[in-house]
Amino acid sequence: MDNYEKVLLHDREMFLREDLEAVLRRTGLALVQEGRYAAVPMPDEVYLADCRTGIICRSSDPLEKVDVHTQLLIMHYLIYSRETARISGRELPFREIKGVGHFEAAFLREVEPLLKSAFAGRLDAFREAGRKLQGEPAAYGDASVKLHIFPNIPVTYILFEGDDEFPMNINILFDEAVTHCIHPEDVPVVGEYGAKALVRAAEIW
């Protein structure tokens, strides 16, 4: 068992000790299948968190194994959302989010090349990928889409198309209250999840 699996087991235990009603209230989630599962909608899948075991599966294919990183992200949404969790409506770039700015360089190194390689010269593919993921068009840049990575965590992806002199530019905005909804160390993971979902959606367009 690797360290990620050990952390996941620990987090499952934390989840099972939580007051379930409080978790649902903080996260905006609902119970399904006679209360056995908390349904966790994400842009590309609805996941199910078993309220008896903490095990997470896909609603589309409960037998398919969910990778440990996605399970950890979902579990952290469940256990680290605060009573003050909400969508503030004020969007900020990564560097301005309290408590996470020091992750910015690593975050951008992961996400910017991913989006540029997938969508440079392909803004229509970006827009269509956003629609496939139930994203909302946003009024920024040359093309932009807001994805709800979790119900209380919107992330807006903005593309500025390049030209012969300047390459494509990327901007990503988070809700100001994102750290009320998940652990600060997970904020870059949330942003990367949405970027990868957009790229995957574009590949099957």
Give the 3-state secondary structure of residue 136: strand
Query: Within this chain, do residues 53 and 118 fall inside the same structural domain, yes or no?
Result: no
> If pLDDT is split at 50, 70 and 90, which confidence band does 204 have?
low
**Cβ pair 153, 188 in contact under 8 A:** no
Structural domain boundaries enclosing 199: 91-203
In whole angstroms, how far apart are CA 153 and each of 39, 53, 83, 88, 117? 15, 25, 15, 10, 25
Q: Is 13 inside any structural domain?
A: yes
Q: Vertex 146, ends 142 and 151: CA angle to 5°?
A: 175
Q: Are 46 and 35 in contact (CB under 8 A)?
A: no
Assess contact for 119 and 202: CB atoms under 8 A.
Answer: yes
Pair 121, 153 in one domain: yes
DSSP secondary structure letter of residue 96: G
Q: What is the pLDDT of residues 65-123, one digit of tens each?
A: 999 999 999 999 999 999 999 999 999 999 999 999 899 999 999 999 999 999 999 99
Place of tokens 């099972």: 16
CATH assignment of the domain containing 154: 3.30.310
Parallel, antiparallel, or unpaired for β 91-93 and 136-137? unpaired
- With 0-12 / 13-18 / 19 or more C-beta atoms within 10 angstroms meaning exposed / middle / buried, residue 55 is middle
Average pLDDT of span 7-29: 98
Which of 34, 52, 80 delimits the end of a domain? 80
Question: N- to C-terminal Cα distance for the chain?
Answer: 37
* Mean of all residue pLDDT scores within the chain: 96
| CA gap 159, 170 in Å, rounded | 5
Residue 196: CB atoms within 10 A of its CB come to 17
Taking only the tens place, the pLDDT of each residue in 151-193 is: 999 999 999 998 777 889 999 999 999 999 999 999 999 999 9
Asked which of 56, 80, 104 is the last residue of a domain, the reply is 80
